[in-house]
Chains A and B, each alone.
Chain A
Amino acid sequence: MGILEGIGTGFSVALDPTNLLYVFLGVLIGTVIGVLPGLGPTATIALLLPLTYEIEPVTAVILLAGIYYGSMYGGTITSVLLQLPGEAASVVTTFDGYQMAKQGRAGPALGIAAIGSWIGGTVSVIGLTLLAPPLADLAVEFGAPEYVALTALGILLVTYLGTRHPVKSLCMAALGLLLATMGQDLITGTTRFTFGQISLFDGLDFVAVAMGLFGVGEILYNVEQTEKAQAVKSKIKNIWPTKADFRASGWPIARGSVMGFFIGVLPGGGGVISSLASYATEKRVAKDPTRFGKGAIEGVAGPETANNASSTSAFIPLLTLGIPANVVLALIFGALLVQGITPGPQLISQEPEIFWGVIASMYIGNLMLLALNIPLVGFFVQLLRVRAGILAAFALLVTMAGVFSVNNDPFDMWVVLIFGIVGWLMKKTGFEPGPLVLAFVLGSILETNFRRAMLTSGGEFSIFFTRPMSGTLFALMALVIIISTVAGIRRRRQRSRPATPGEEDLAATGTTAEPEGTPGAENTDGTATDEASAQSDSGVGRDRS
């Protein structure tokens, strides 16, 4: 199937009234939760997973994807108006966006963010349309060793790039892989780690684990952190930016689109890192970098474009290789697995309506977001009156009822509760749930392919290193581990750690890279962790030198 023909199929799927409704619902929910500081896209997607059982697979992915890129728009609103990022990818927008709002230019800041997001999103969908099919063709040749290499690399990169503490994340990834082995062994039929519980014979339910760790865990953590509702003081007017604004934002939007697209494709990439990278670049190429942090429109236009572009292109590795690039995509991956569809190179040929339908829905969704955002900003702002506690109470009830509805089994409710406690404790102790869930989702694929490779090679580990593709991937993994170990040792010596691109700039302003998909409010509400302030100290020192 050619690309044009594919796009045709896609639009016929996406323009189906049901799917059109779900794109709209997705981007609307995304924007709303982007605005609400207590709930990020990961928590929301986790909470809505049970719903995806009720609808067609393609509709489910359209809905969840809409929530993801929609939240990138919504997060901007609170960043600009309150210096309170609704989700982590909008943290950098607070630097210049909030300053613009203080100068009475909240309107143009929001306007250029919406327009930039739309351009970034659309450029990225076009890239996805063109790049995904050839990549999938390439991947069809992959055998078991390549899959082991690719999956392991994906997990490794997500643990190293998207998180603050590689070793802690790696530890959580191992725990996730271990949890994935619970239940019946698919090859020999032996039951593993079930402790005699019949409910555990099929393993832990992905939906219950994700809802517990992200839904309940994150809600509890945020209830503990955020205390009161915020009121918006700045007036929003003249949303449509002036000609001068457009001229200033043109190149940042162009650079942001391209950069966001490529960062999104990388495992571990996504909105958070790409917005940081874009901000750092714009500051570097600017004629007068001192304007940044004082209301430079480039500092809003670039990162907002980039985070939207990357949240779209992050679908490329999922749809072509079956590797989720970050936690949000891991949840979408899980939702598809639950429906009996394994995303991978065969997706395009076997389920063209899913592949192309989702892509086409993104064109439509981005257009809807532009239409929603510019006139409705005032309405979204009102949502900030909802108190975190009320939100938490209702979200928890939805979680409990929702997880019961999946298998009609109260056992799953206990699983959610236990993983909720675990998730909350992890947040409190600086372990991140993201790598755990990602590894949990990929666990059985990794194990099956590993065992298949071992069987075909007769127990020789060399099979992983002698085949060109998997050999390269393993070399890459070794490189990542060595570099990060060296950097880690160095860091322990001098206590400054530029681990992710743009983190230096972030550190200079006293924030750290939050994991993808989390609500980003934690670092600006005055309860910044000791670590963040320690970093800002060292960052400021570096800036002066």
Chain B
Amino acid sequence: MSKQLHRIAPLVLLLLGAAALWGSWSLGVGELSAPGPGLWPFIVSLVLTATALLLLFIDEPDDYEAWNRNALRIAGGLLSLAVFIVLFEAIGFVIPAVLMLLFWLRLFAKEPWRLAVPLAIGGALLFYLLFEVALAVPFPDGILFAGTGR
């Protein structure tokens, strides 16, 4: 069974291609002399579906990397980014940025706390100054610094 696992990727693409075929067909492909909005997506989806179908059979399993503990850490890192975006919208830039940097510096760089904490706080403030103050990017109002009135 595990020998067939690598076929998941082409299978996902195949399903996507099929869905896109159906989607573009329902947009209306029109005539060749008067192409509808769906014609081009339909042609492209055909290529996608055909190549995915081909890959389902010919793709080499060697090409796929093993999933290990590292991959799990990356998944954790991704989750931290999602949390960052949610917090960013709610409470502004600085605190989520400190937290995210701290998380990454501890988890991936394995920095000791005495280095990670100042790096995270310093980095977050630096980027805050760079984006919000120097480049005038209107970040959502923070609970730490009030919005700069834009």
B is a partner of A: yes
| Residues of A that sit less than 8 Å from B by CB | 54, 165, 167-168, 170-171, 173-175, 177-178, 181, 185, 187-188, 190, 192-193, 216, 220, 223-224, 387-390, 392-394, 396-398, 400-402, 404-405, 408, 410, 413-414, 417, 420-421, 424-425, 428-431, 447, 450-451, 454-455, 457-461, 492, 529-531, 534
Interface of A, secondary structure class, is: helix
Interface of B, secondary structure class, is: helix
Q: Which of B33, B52, B64, B89 is A454 in contact with, Cβ under 8 Å? A: B33
In the complex, what residues of A have CB within 8 A of residue B138's CB? 408
Say if the beta carbon of B104 comes within 8 Å of chain A: yes
Contact with A along B15-40 (1 / 0, CB 8 A): 01100100110011001111111111
Q: Which of B16, B109, B140 is A393 in contact with, Cβ under 8 Å? A: B109
Q: Which of A165, A224, A387, A404 is B71 in contact with, Cβ under 8 Å? A: A224
Q: A393-B109, A424-B74, A492-B58 are in contact. Are A192 and B48 (CB under 8 A)?
A: no
Q: A389-B104, A428-B71, A529-B62 are in contact. Are A410 and B89 (CB under 8 A)?
A: yes
Q: Are B78 and A190 in contact (CB under 8 A)?
A: no
Q: Are B85 and A417 in contact (CB under 8 A)?
A: yes
**Which residues of chain B from 82 to 133 have a CB within 8 Å of any chain A CB?**
82, 84-85, 88-89, 93, 97, 100-101, 104-105, 107-111, 119, 123-124, 127, 131
CB contacts between A and B, total, < 8 Å: 183
In the complex, what residues of A have CB within 8 A of residue B36's CB? 188
Chain A minimum-CB-distance residue to B130: A401
Q: A223-B108, A417-B82, A454-B35 are in contact. Are A178 and B62 (CB under 8 A)?
A: no
**A418 vs chain B, min Cβ distance (A):** 10
Q: Which of B13, B65, B93, B101 is A171 in contact with, Cβ under 8 Å? A: B13
Distance, CA A460 to CA B67, complexed state (A): 49
Q: Are A405 and B35 in contact (CB under 8 A)?
A: no
Say if the beta carbon of B142 comes within 8 Å of chain A: no
Q: Are A185 and B109 in contact (CB under 8 A)?
A: no
In the complex, what residues of B have CB within 8 A of residue A168's CB? 51, 55, 59, 63
Give 18 A-B pairs besides A224-B73, A393-B104 with Cβ atoms closer than 8 angstroms.
A167-B55, A170-B51, A171-B13, A174-B45, A192-B38, A220-B78, A224-B70, A392-B109, A393-B100, A394-B123, A396-B81, A400-B88, A414-B85, A417-B81, A425-B9, A428-B65, A429-B9, A531-B62
In the complex, what residues of B have CB within 8 A of residue A54's CB? 135
Chain A minimum-CB-distance residue to B36: A188
**A4 vs chain B, min Cβ distance (A):** 39
Say if the beta carbon of B47 comes within 8 Å of chain A: yes
Distance, CA A193 to CA B119, complexed state (A): 43
**B116 vs chain A, min Cβ distance (A):** 9
**B121 vs chain A, min Cβ distance (A):** 13
In the complex, what residues of A have CB within 8 A of residue B39's CB? 451
Q: A397-B101, A400-B81, A400-B88 are in contact. Are A190 and B63 (CB under 8 A)?
A: no
Say if the beta carbon of B143 comes within 8 Å of chain A: no
Q: Which 10 residue pairs across A and B have the least CB separation, nearest first? A: A389-B109, A459-B33, A430-B63, A459-B32, A393-B104, A389-B108, A171-B51, A174-B48, A174-B47, A190-B37
Chain A minimum-CB-distance residue to B103: A393
Q: Are B74 and A220 in contact (CB under 8 A)?
A: yes
In the complex, what residues of B have CB within 8 A of residue A455's CB? 33-35
Distance, CA A401 to CA B67, complexed state (A): 30
Q: Are A431 and B9 in contact (CB under 8 A)?
A: yes
Distance, CA A428 to CA B60, complexed state (A): 13
20 contacts between A and B (CB under 8 A): A187-B37, A192-B37, A223-B108, A387-B109, A388-B109, A394-B123, A396-B81, A396-B100, A397-B127, A400-B84, A400-B88, A404-B137, A405-B131, A428-B64, A429-B9, A429-B65, A455-B34, A461-B32, A531-B62, A534-B62
Chain A minimum-CB-distance residue to B54: A167
Q: Are B85 and A171 in contact (CB under 8 A)?
A: no
In the complex, what residues of B have CB within 8 A of residue A398's CB? 127
Distance, CA A438 to CA B29, complexed state (A): 25
In the complex, what residues of A have CB within 8 A of residue B23's CB? 193
Q: Which of B55, B119, B131 is A390 in contact with, Cβ under 8 Å? A: B119
**B120 vs chain A, min Cβ distance (A):** 8
Distance, CA A408 to CA B132, complexed state (A): 11
In the complex, what residues of B have CB within 8 A of residue A420's CB? 78, 81
Q: Are B123 and A397 in contact (CB under 8 A)?
A: yes
Q: Are B78 and A394 in contact (CB under 8 A)?
A: no
Q: Are A171 and B35 in contact (CB under 8 A)?
A: no
Q: A174-B47, A394-B123 are in contact. Are A185 and B37 (CB under 8 A)?
A: yes
Q: Are A396 and B104 in contact (CB under 8 A)?
A: yes
Distance, CA A405 to CA B137, complexed state (A): 6
Q: Are A220 and B77 in contact (CB under 8 A)?
A: yes
In the complex, what residues of B have CB within 8 A of residue A178's CB? 20, 41, 44-45, 48
Distance, CA A388 to CA B34, complexed state (A): 53
Q: Are A171 and B64 in contact (CB under 8 A)?
A: no
Distance, CA A450 to CA B40, complexed state (A): 8
Q: Are A408 and B60 in contact (CB under 8 A)?
A: no
**A412 vs chain B, min Cβ distance (A):** 10
Q: Are B77 and A223 in contact (CB under 8 A)?
A: yes
In the complex, what residues of A have CB within 8 A of residue B85's CB? 400, 410, 413-414, 417
Q: Are A451 and B93 in contact (CB under 8 A)?
A: no
Distance, CA A451 to CA B109, complexed state (A): 51
In the complex, what residues of A have CB within 8 A of residue B58's CB? 167, 492
